[in-house]
Structure 1
Amino acid sequence: MAATIDKTTLDFLADLTRNNNREWFNENKKRYETARKNYIQFLDEMLEEMAAFEPVALEQKGKDLVFRIYRDVRFSNDKRPYKDHFGAYVAEGGRKSIYPGYYLHLAANNNSFVAGGLWMPPSDYLKAVRQEIDYSLDEFKSIVEAPDFKKRFGSISGEQLKTTPKGYDKENPAIEYLRFKSWNAVMPINDKTVLSAGFMNVVLDAMKALKPFYDFLMEPLKEIGQE
């Protein structure tokens, strides 16, 4: 039987959203630990299943991919001490990787989602992906504009330049994709689905659908990694 997300896990995240302070968190530390354990158990099974179609999941462990619940508030106007969600990034090199990957965001109030792509890469990676899109626009469009992909993820999202990237013409047929500084595909998931027995399959099916997108973004970065 596939691992599931307990209702108590979403309940904890909902309560944390309303009570994001240290006193409340310390009083509910056991609830946090139970919820985190549930999320990690789900991730461990997800990784096992993912390995059948995505080698990057091999030998990864859920506990190593989960981001810390504690927010870094040093340079932020938002001084809430805790994140109101659990998040894990599956990528070559683990959760701090600068490579493309897959992300599972678990949050209350219908704010969960599965996502994949490349988030704010360093400049040499950014240039390499832009070049790949420019050279292989038809292939890229066949992935991100495929009806099934658009039905799941909608349009590609991510921060974009307001101007044209250096070295490219504004009339370039790929310009709408070249302006991106991150390329992300996001599929929202409601609480009812998260708590259903079929949630694991929903997540795995989404990640299978993300695989060609991941492969495209990863391909031009392999050579950089070998330099």
Structure 2
Amino acid sequence: MSERKFKGFGEKALPFLKALDFHQNREWFQENKSLFESQLKEPLGDLVEDLTERFAEAGLPFRGDRVKSQFRIYRDARFSKDKSPYNRHLSALLSADGSKRVESGCFYVCIGLPGVRDCYAGVAWWQQRPELLLAMRKAIVEKPEEFRAMVKALKRNGLELRDTDRLKRLPRGFEHVEEPDLAEAVKNKHFFVRMEIDPDSITSPELADRLFDFAVRAKPLIDWGKKIEKTVPA
């Protein structure tokens, strides 16, 4: 095991995002770009590299690149009413193939302003291709014992599935599902768990330990999805 690189985000990381939220102009950002890179971008790169190594050692299917895994601080505001040029957060995504494709299970970490984007991490099956989402819904109904075992394992680990972006009605072909827990699960578009990050803790190297522990505790969700994924043609 090599020496860990992540030493924590800079003490000025959140103050920088707060100032960026106020200024939101290119001139200010260019004047303070070195602060952004030293306090946020480089530490996030170190965190991605450290977690990639730890995940590989633990057999978790998440890997990333210190540069490519990070989402840009620059916003694409072409189709948004909010024309602010910069995000108020910085985030990164680790996936099975090391890209930003999220459909095959992913690990996501976001460092943001409390009340705006917040600081949190997530492990998820997110925006799956239709064939995989359909297979997951069928698995919930046809093999409920496996789905419920996964949910129980998450609960034992202090986690629970989130209901963000859940359908209001049962999707077509699943109108017959009556058991409440299965019906609610079938309505999910995504399957994910989340860990809140105390903003005051991001300057500590121990943040990497907590994120790794969270990913390990979320493994039942990834294992459940991986088993189903193998049944779906590529």
TM-score range, shorter chain: 0.7 to 0.9
Instruction: Tell me if structure 2 keeps the 8 A contact 1:69–1:83.
Output: yes
Instruction: Tell me if structure 1 keeps the 8 A contact 2:62–2:107.
Output: no
Residue of structure 2 equivalent to 1:102:
107
Residue of structure 2 equivalent to 1:166:
172
Candidates 67, 80, 85, aligned match of 1:63: 67
Between 125-134 and 5-14, report the one with greater CA deviation: 5-14
Superposed displacement of residue 108, structure 1: 3.3
Residue of structure 2 equivalent to 1:119:
126
Candidates 177, 180, 186, aligned match of 1:178: 186
Measured in 2, the distance between the counterparts of 1:124 and 1:14 equals: 41
Q: Find out whether 1:37 has 2:42 as its counterpart.
A: yes
Residue of structure 1 equivalent to 2:59:
54
Instruction: Tell me if structure 1 keeps the 8 A contact 2:75–2:85.
Output: yes
Measured in 2, the distance between the counterparts of 1:142 and 1:18 equals: 47
Structure 1 segments, 4+ long, off by >4 Å, are none
The letter for the 1-side match of 2:133 is L
Instruction: Tell me if structure 1 keeps the 8 A contact 2:170–2:183.
Output: yes
Q: Find out whether 1:84 has 2:88 as its counterpart.
A: yes
Between 77-86 and 154-163, report the one with greater CA deviation: 154-163
Instruction: Tell me if structure 1 keeps the 8 A contact 2:62–2:106.
Output: no
The letter for the 2-side match of 1:51 is A
Instruction: Tell me if structure 2 keeps the 8 A contact 1:14–1:108.
Output: yes
Give the secondary structure class of the aligned counterpart of 1:65. Answer: coil
Superposed displacement of residue 132, structure 1: 1.9
Measured in 1, the distance between the counterparts of 2:187 and 2:212 equals: 30
Candidates 135, 151, 158, aligned match of 1:128: 135
Q: Find out whether 1:139 has 2:179 as its counterpart.
A: no
Measured in 2, the distance between the counterparts of 1:74 and 1:112 equals: 26
Candidates 206, 211, 217, aligned match of 1:209: 217
The letter for the 2-side match of 1:36 is K
Superposed displacement of residue 203, structure 1: 0.6
Superposed displacement of residue 208, structure 1: 0.6
Give me the CA root mean square deviation. 2.1
Measured in 2, the distance between the counterparts of 1:20 and 1:170 equals: 49
Deviations 1:8-46 (A, max 9, x none): 223322322232232321221111222201210121112
Instruction: Tell me if structure 2 keeps the 8 A contact 1:11–1:108.
Output: no
Instruction: Tell me if structure 1 keeps the 8 A contact 2:141–2:177.
Output: no
Gaps of 5+ in 1: none
Superposed displacement of residue 121, structure 1: 2.0
Measured in 2, the distance between the counterparts of 1:18 and 1:96 equals: 32
Give the secondary structure class of the aligned counterpart of 2:67. Answer: helix
Superposed displacement of residue 222, structure 1: 2.8
Instruction: Tell me if structure 2 keeps the 8 A contact 1:21–1:81.
Output: yes
Taking structure 1 as the reference length, the TM-score comes to 0.87
Superposed displacement of residue 188, structure 1: 0.9
Instruction: Tell me if structure 2 keeps the 8 A contact 1:14–1:107.
Output: no
Q: Which has the higher helix share?
A: 1
Q: How many residues matched?
A: 223
